[in-house]
Amino acid sequence: MGKVAVGATVICAAAVCAAATLILRHRMRSAGRWAKAMTILREFEEKSGTPIGKLRQVADAMSVEMHAGLASENGSKLKMLISYVDNLPTGDEHGLFYALDLGGTNFRVLRVQLGGKEGRVVKQEFTEVSIPHELMVGSSDELFDFIAAELAKFVATEGEGFHLSAGRQRELGFTFSFPVKQLSISSGTLIKWTKGFSIDDAVGQDVVAELTKAMERKGLDMRVSALVNDTIGTLAGGRYFNNDVVAAVILGTGTNAAYVERANAIPKWHGLLPKSGEMVINMEWGNFRSSHLPLTEYDHALDIESLNVGEQIFEKIISGMYLGDIVRRVLLKMAEEAAFFGDIVPPKLKVPFILRTPEMSAMHHDTSPDLKVVGSKLKDILGISSTSLKTRKVVVELCNIVATRGARLSAAGILGILKKLGRDTVKEGEKQRTVIAMDGGLFEHYTEFSTCLESTLSELLGEEVADTIVIEHANDGSGIGASLLAASHSQYPEVEES
């Protein structure tokens, strides 16, 4: 072999050796990064842990805070608001009733013809109206005039199958999903606007009086007989179809719970006790907090960067508004500290709330062999174009950790309500059945979440008690529930004969 050939062989061997070294270094660096990413994931999983013992502590804390909130006005982070709803629908209601559901940039108007125990909801119709942006930041009169005009238009289309008894005024249930200080069943002052509304002259005003004046200006003869929020509407809708419903929970973008309390168990109530002996309490449970809640660095960061720092802590770890963003925050740390998506941190991963909970749910429910949905969501939403199956599996695992914590804590909250009502045990010889009416997109559409919630509640209660508790999906509480509350709080107390 000549000198040139020998030299070439030596150079080749050196090149192969260098390449092998580079590959080895790359693999070692890659393995190091992967180990770091897994450390971040495992630490988060550990801090998000919800063992049964911890969930029992959360349930006990919820029950204690419920007592404190009922005792005095500022006794607890749980507001435990008196709703003035002391008559839930019984099923005997007859007649024509309307509902107005104002909770965001659209509002719905609904009418129902009720036919008593036999007929139930004989017929119903609704329409949905979009609110022009300028009215969301204009004056109170402009907004309520617009709503009253649309309401009058809808009333004008009242056709066959709807019948208002002679001598009766039309009655309306008003679902108003903004913070309100309720003064009676049919009055309440606006505390502040949320959801993009900013109408200064409406703050501190009675929203029912504002709507009533607008209806008068539009020549519409209608009385608001119930002012409620969507959670109480859900409770009313649930009770109408099932007499065993004692509480309602909404798990959607936000979260809240309401339940039926004994009126004599509300120390802060100073009025006459209602004839029914009952009062519906709007818990505002999103504001619950306790040292037992498993909060992580990501939850603290989310809270600090939020518009309501230190408020709604429970909501920030269990509701649809926030779950996707918690996943994003953990992925961002993995990208920054462990180059989880390569050397460059994907810029979109730094955008708060870019990853919404419906997208997180779609990834969590991906059953394709190559996790195709996960791959396409990462690409379309976060601009991460090429991901390995191994990486996608980690993303699914992260979604599972976040959803599981939220679902199990929701179950603990429900157990807190059951404890307060004494329905977390079975008394000998009693055949009680307890139904919780549930609504909200998170509960309805995120199957892994709702399945986990129900199995956790069974685990907490034990088999015997779990058999007496039913979680029932009660759809459209904010619409039909409000019309039913208009009926059960009608100015015409006698039950109309069909």
CB neighbours (10 Å) of residue 308? 12
Looking up tokens 């119930």, which residue turns up? Answer: 226
Burial class (CB in 10 A: 0-12, 13-18, 19+), 64: middle
204: phi > 0 → left, psi -120 to 50 → alpha, else beta; which?
A: left
- Active-site annotation holds for 328: no
Q: What is the DSSP letter of 285?
A: G
Residue 455 phi, psi dihedral angles, 5° rounding: -70, -35
Catalytic (active site) residue 410: no
| Alpha helical stretches, state H, 276-388 | 297-304, 313-318, 320-338, 357-364, 372-382
Query: Nearest Cα to 484, choosing from 284, 286, 280, 283?
Result: 280
Catalytic status, residue 217: no
β-bridge pairing 469-473 and 434-439:
parallel
Q: In angstroms, what CA-CA distances link 351 with 201, 331, 358, 381, 471? A: 34, 12, 17, 11, 36
Alpha carbon 161 to chain centroid, angstroms:
35
In single-letter form, the type of residue at position 232 comes to I
Output phi, psi for 130, to 5 deg.
-90, 135
The DSSP 8-state label assigned to residue 201 in this structure reads: G
Single out the catalytic residue among 48, 83, 86, 108: 108
Strand arrangement of the beta sheet that strand 222-228 belongs to: 121-130, 106-115, 94-102, 170-176, 222-228
The single residue of 177, 290, 478, 488 carrying the catalytic annotation is 177
What token pair was written down for 235? 């409770």
Rounded CA-CA distance 322/254 in Å is 9
DSSP SS3 for 471:
strand
- How many other CB atoms are found less than 10 A from the CB of residue 175? 28
Catalytic residue among 101, 145, 206, 230: 230
Instruction: Kindly list the catalytic residues.
Output: 108, 177, 230
